[in-house]
Amino acid sequence: NAGVTQTPKFQVLKTGQSMTLQCAQDMNHEYMSWYRQDPGMGLRLIHYSVGAGITDQGEVPNGYNVSRSTTEDFPLRLLSAAPSQTSVYFCASRLRGAITEAFFGQGTRLTVV
């Protein structure tokens, strides 16, 4: 049981490049979400999904796209990277009725130059 797996762990992009951050969970959790973590700020919700085929925007969705074709996978796409997207990104999952996002991935540290 691997929990929540994120890849890559580190990434450097040039402004304007695109990339996909991968997130997979093997716990059959319905709810998955993406957060970014910036210095001096709490985790902020980017996008979330309550099940396969269903996604919605969080607090800071601009510049990011998501899809949820399977229960296991929830990739986050940056279409045209900007320096403001330099951050640490965390994927999380939980059962639909759970109170907390009890399972987080290890994070992806992204730098956009």
Partner 1 sequence: GESVGLHLPTLSVQEGDNSIINCAYSNSASDYFIWYKQESGKGPQFIIDIRSNMDKRQGQRVTVLLNKTVKHLSLQIAATQPGDSAVYFCAERPNTGTASKLTFGTGTRLQVTL
Q: What is the contact surface with partner 1 in residues (CB under 8 A)?
A: 4, 31, 37-45, 48, 50, 56, 58-59, 88, 90, 92, 96-107, 109
Residue holding tokens 């999952």?
Answer: 93
Q: Token pair for residue 43?
A: 């985790």
Q: Which is nearer to partner 1, 16 or 53 (CB)?
A: 53
* CA dist 62 → 26, 41, 45, 65, 76 (Å): 28, 18, 11, 8, 12
Q: How far is the CB of 17 from partner 1 (least distance, A)?
A: 22
Q: How far is the CB of 107 from partner 1 (least distance, A)?
A: 5
Q: Which is nearer to partner 1, 16 or 76 (CB)?
A: 76
Q: Which is nearer to partner 1, 18 or 35 (CB)?
A: 35
Q: Which is nearer to partner 1, 26 or 38 (CB)?
A: 38
DSSP string, 24-87: EESS--SEEEEEEE-TTS--EEEEEEEETTEEEE-SS-TTEEE--SSSSB--EEESS--GGG-E
Q: How far is the CB of 26 from partner 1 (least distance, A)?
A: 16
Q: How far is the CB of 44 from partner 1 (least distance, A)?
A: 8
